[in-house]
Structure 1
């Protein structure tokens, strides 16, 4: 197949810079870019110390991934550049991830990475290289509307990554291209196989690339030792039920790992209180949230005068909601909504934008004892 990179009027042979992670998705993007007849350059951001990264299988942009990206570029006959962005990645993504957990919030580092090293830094690199666009392997669609480019979900619902790109600006979207947005994942792997790319069967990298073993708590405690400070587990009336070994082990909506047996009904984490080091638990009904306050809201293009759907977790179903300034009100209560996550708004398949969840409004008022605590 031949992808349309929408570069008409950019010269006889436009230049495409491809963000290459060493995985099958970005490798196929590079191959499609070459097939389009454009001049193609592959760029990889090295996000870890090379020696450390090489020893961490499963981490994106580690040593093996850089070698895989270079091998694909060699096969395609295009140049490949590696840029060291370890310092920027640590300060913009890893350190913020640790600080968010320390503050009792549940972060989304993939959005921060897109907002920082991936788009901001890669944009600068691509423009320095004289590119007409920056192409990535994200499963979203870029559609040119009456007022300019708009962002849409990927056609494969199992691979759609639009939730993680809500902070993309209109100016960035003008320069970005997403050639995989209209393809299912199995077709992408088939294309890689047809082209003889060595990464055709390579497993997908983990969502949080810098925590390859999935032990978020261990990483946070290593970076912020105070995260291991314990405290009390209390019910919604403030009665002590047990103790914990650090807020970093909990997130809103969590049921397992509380270690407070003997209760008459299942208990869930309702909220975290970093000031008192308390984990407040309660019945599932107490997780219901009627509205959230958003911060750092970003809109992608003009807002249509139509009902919106809000997605408050990456795996959640979009729910009907109404927006009043920075206050998002759900038509029906949502459950397990955590500060630090994002609320992304959609109109049908189009991504309108969204913001960070700064505060939630519970459907059930807290008992007076907690309010006075």
Structure 2
């Protein structure tokens, strides 16, 4: 029976018994989401596990017998069986291809460096799957992401994970306030991944020692070029490697093999100073190279902004923030200058190298762990 309003909230923030609280857990088959599901099941929640069939490595690479997502689905199902809660597999391959994979390929083709994991969270997991959870009459949806949801004076806030080495806030900046109200992240407060694996061992989960995935899920072994060539054969069209004055230095076998800031593998020898990829011109099929100094950038145009601050972004001409321009870099002090509700210019106090269109620029409160949202870096 539901508890009265004077009863303390349960661990998911509802004033009722865990048994009366239904939670859908997004299960990838990995240790993180498996621990979330097992932990909530042990606490007595009405858990429903859902795994999304998003891709097929064999189809992506056009290879017979290539490993597919079946192992992860099997692992998620085993966890559900061992903990005694229902588990469902939903076929989202067409949705995933339209919403994530096609844009990934087109972005590379246009000379950008995309981050498909962000689009997947935004367009599939926190959109379609979240709606499925509502259809199942769940009170909330929980995931294994390392990020924290904290209650503030104006409602739930998004905060970086306690373990900076595992923090996934860069990939979740586009979470909307409405989604944040419904989502839960039970692992965000843990001090380390070792603590997660200890919980997996405690629950005797078969995935307790399963290695972490290192690559984009539909790009096995990090071979971006093979996937993009299959989806967009023209991406492998050859072209010229030129310096900033337009002088041809070498030929390339497709701009998909290059990223901003790259130094190795350019095939340019005999030069006194090292050259780096400073720009990709998809229309001309040119890889432009220059000295390292040309990689330094202070002003970043940002679009498609999702703002999570308490006051509207346009309510101030300038916002002192810290920004992260790649998932592997720490936040840097900056000034955010809004242009519209979804556009802004970010000025870094210290120039950063290798900033690339297609990457995300995520905004943080410089004085706390809170995320103020973020947007996509566009060509200046």
Give the alignment's TM-score, normalised by structure 2.
0.90
Q: Name which of 39, 44, 48 aligns with 1:41.
A: 48
Q: Which secondary structure does the structure 1 equivalent of 2:49 belong to?
A: strand
2:369 is matched with 349
1:100 is matched with 107
Do the aligned partners of 1:147 and 1:301 also contact (CA within 8 Å) in 2? no
What is the CA-CA distance between 1:12 and the residue it aligns to?
Answer: 6.2
* Structure-2 separation of matches of 1:118 and 1:129: 15
What is the CA-CA distance between 1:217 and the residue it aligns to?
Answer: 0.8
What is the CA-CA distance between 1:7 and the residue it aligns to?
Answer: 2.1
* Structure-2 separation of matches of 1:27 and 1:88: 24
Segments ≥4 residues shifted beyond 3 Å: 9-12, 49-57, 303-306
Q: Count residues with an aligned counterpart.
A: 355
Q: Which secondary structure does the structure 1 equivalent of 2:371 belong to?
A: strand
1:194 is matched with 202
Q: Which secondary structure does the structure 2 equivalent of 1:65 belong to?
A: helix
1:255 is matched with 263
1:86 is matched with 93
What are the equivalent positions in structure 2 for 1:213-362 lying under 5 Å apart?
A: 213-303=221-311, 307-325=320-338, 326-347=344-365, 348-360=368-380
1:367 is matched with none
Residues 15 and 351 of structure 1: is their aligned pair in 2 closer, same or farther, counting only changes over 3 Å? same
Q: Which one is further off, 29-38 or 305-314?
A: 305-314
Residues 261 and 359 of structure 1: is their aligned pair in 2 closer, same or farther, counting only changes over 3 Å? same
What is the CA-CA distance between 1:237 and the residue it aligns to?
Answer: 1.5
* Structure-1 separation of matches of 2:358 and 2:104: 10
Do the aligned partners of 1:345 and 1:351 also contact (CA within 8 Å) in 2? yes
When the two chains are superposed, the root-mean-square deviation of aligned CA atoms in Å is 1.9
Residues 55 and 187 of structure 1: is their aligned pair in 2 closer, same or farther, counting only changes over 3 Å? farther
* Structure-2 separation of matches of 1:101 and 1:83: 29
What is the CA-CA distance between 1:277 and the residue it aligns to?
Answer: 1.1
Q: Which secondary structure does the structure 2 equivalent of 1:323 belong to?
A: strand
2:74 is matched with 67
What is the CA-CA distance between 1:243 and the residue it aligns to?
Answer: 1.1
Residues 249 and 50 of structure 1: is their aligned pair in 2 closer, same or farther, counting only changes over 3 Å? closer
Residues 298 and 135 of structure 1: is their aligned pair in 2 closer, same or farther, counting only changes over 3 Å? same
1:366 is matched with none
Residues 276 and 52 of structure 1: is their aligned pair in 2 closer, same or farther, counting only changes over 3 Å? closer
Q: Which secondary structure does the structure 1 equivalent of 2:20 belong to?
A: coil
* Structure-2 separation of matches of 1:177 and 1:213: 31
**Residue deviations 1:299-344 (CA, integer Å, cap 9, x gap):** 1242598621010001012111101111111111111000000000
What is the CA-CA distance between 1:200 and the residue it aligns to?
Answer: 0.2
Do the aligned partners of 1:10 and 1:132 also contact (CA within 8 Å) in 2? no
Do the aligned partners of 1:15 and 1:131 also contact (CA within 8 Å) in 2? yes
* Structure-2 separation of matches of 1:51 and 1:317: 36
What is the CA-CA distance between 1:187 and the residue it aligns to?
Answer: 0.6
* Structure-1 separation of matches of 2:65 and 2:48: 27
Q: Which secondary structure does the structure 2 equivalent of 1:344 belong to?
A: strand
* Structure-1 separation of matches of 2:176 and 2:52: 21
What is the CA-CA distance between 1:5 and the residue it aligns to?
Answer: 1.6
* Structure-1 separation of matches of 2:17 and 2:99: 33
What is the CA-CA distance between 1:52 and the residue it aligns to?
Answer: 5.7
1:130 is matched with 137
1:365 is matched with none
Q: Which one is further off, 256-265 or 29-38?
A: 29-38
1:164 is matched with 171
Do the aligned partners of 1:321 and 1:331 also contact (CA within 8 Å) in 2? yes
Q: Which runs of 5+ in 1 are unaligned?
A: 361-373
Do the aligned partners of 1:270 and 1:286 also contact (CA within 8 Å) in 2? yes
Q: Which secondary structure does the structure 1 equivalent of 2:186 belong to?
A: coil
* Structure-2 separation of matches of 1:123 and 1:331: 38
Do the aligned partners of 2:238 and 2:251 also contact (CA within 8 Å) in 1? yes
Q: Which one is further off, 32-41 or 176-185?
A: 32-41
